[in-house]
Amino acid sequence: MTVTFSIIAPIFNELDNLPELYRRVQEVMTASGETWELVMVDDGSNDGSTECILEMAKDDSHVRPVIFARNFGHQLAVTAGWDYARGNAIITIDADLQDPPEVIPDLIAKWREGYEVVYAVRAEREGETWFKKTTAALFYRIVHRITDIKIPVDTGDFRLMDRKVVDVLKTMHERHRFPRGMSAWVGFKQIGVPYKRAARYAGVTKYPFSKMLKLALNAITGYSYFPLQLATYFGFTAAGLSIVAIPVVIIMRLAGHGAFLGQATTLIAVLFLGGVQLIFLGVLGEYLGRIYDEVKGRPLYIVRQGPEK
């Protein structure tokens, strides 16, 4: 069967959201009059979500369950959705309904105009704390500024991509994945559609600050050499200050100025430079660790139960 639209929903412990997600997606896609499928990727849930997904698949052939052997993470669940989606256009959506399925027709309309990547831009964000909004805004702008590609600000994984775009993404096998960066890197004809991000329908967020920080590291180290270049900038700055400071210290010592007697100045300089060196050893370690993960060549994820690709 030819499928026009594939909707991918990564799921981790979203039992209370699944019936409403299914109902709203079914309502929107039935109204479109096109063939569709809902690829539900269960990322090692332990709250009954797995059984709920399998039950839905029994009752409706539109639902295609992909069940992971364990929790591999949201980014790899999105990747599995790309691998199993059969549609001419693929839409990724959050299972917590913060990305309203009712926005999907707007994405489809832009796709029909000839755009190959249509990303949803968060014009408003309901139900989120001041801290979450501020850190999210800061994250998007820092990533946009320092990465080598221009990732649209205030966008998540909620987007529609043409089949040709997804086929390219499927050839990219890096382990530390950042799907929104990957879709920006491949190019093609792209456009944003503003929408109002809703509050979570039920349950608690699966993206605490620690996971957001890890995502930020994946984005920065995956698409920018800026952290490594900082070491060079610090080196030149320290060298420049040293060149200026040497004659100043000599003159002050000859003048008998008390602040420049003894070893305090030397110790402070050594501690400062030692701290900078350790920081950038850590940065090098981050990049080296990612290289180590890549060369092991392990599969990105393991499916315990799922349909044929």
Cα 122 to chain centroid, rounded: 15
Query: Does residue 4 contact residue 89 with C-beta atoms inside 8 Å?
Result: yes
What pLDDT, in 10s, does the model give residues 52-64?
899 898 888 889 9
pLDDT score at 175: 78
Sheet (strand 63-68) strand order: 190-197, 117-125, 155-162, 89-92, 5-11, 36-42, 63-68, 303-305
Which CATH number among 3.40.50.920, 3.90.550.10, 3.40.50.2000, 3.30.930.10 corresponds to the domain 5-206+298-305? 3.90.550.10
| pLDDT number for residue 222 | 67
Query: Domains of the chain: which residue ranges?
Result: 5-206+298-305, 226-296
What is the rounded distance in angstroms from the CA atom of residue 176 to the CA atom of residue 290? 7
- Between helix 18-32 and helix 104-112 the angle, nearest 10°, is 40
Q: What is the pTM assigned to this prediction?
A: 0.70
∠ Cα 8 9 12 (to 5°) = 145
Q: How many CB atoms lie within 10 A of CB 78?
A: 22
Token digits of residue 181: 């960066």
Q: For residue 173, what pLDDT is reported?
A: 81
Place of tokens 């026009």: 4
* Residue from 5, 71, 75, 7 nearest 42 by CA: 71
Long-range contacts of 130-137 (CB under 8 A, 24+ apart): 135/209, 135/212, 136/212
Query: What are the C-alpha distances in Å from 96 to residues 10, 47, 66, 197?
Result: 10, 15, 18, 11
With a cut of 50, list the residues of the chain below it in pLDDT.
Answer: none
Using CA atoms, how far apart are residues 294 and 297, in angstroms rounded to an integer? 6
pLDDT per residue as tens digits for the range 175-202: 778 888 888 888 888 988 888 887 766 7
Angle value at C-alpha 73, between 200 and 208, nearest 5 degrees: 45
pLDDT at 209: 62
**Orientation angle between helical segments 226-254 and 209-223, nearest 10 degrees:** 90
DSSP line for the chain: ---SEEEEEEESS-TTTHHHHHHHHHHHHHHHTS-EEEEEEE-S--SSHHHHHHHHHHH-TTEEEEEESS---HHHHHHHHHHH--SSEEEE--TTSSS-GGGHHHHHHHHHTT-SEEEEEEEEE-S--HHHHHHHHHHHHHHHHHSSS-PPTTEEEEEEEEHHHHHHHTT---SS--HHHHHHHT-SSEEEEEEEEPPPSSS--S--HHHHHHHHHHHHHHH--HHHHHHHHHHHHHHHHHHHHHHHHHHHHHTT-GGGSSSHHHHHHHHHHHHHHHHHHHHHHHHHHHHHHHHH---S--EEE----
Q: What is the pLDDT of residue 131?
A: 67
Residue 237's pLDDT is what? Answer: 72
Contact of 307 with 84, CB cutoff 8 Å:
yes
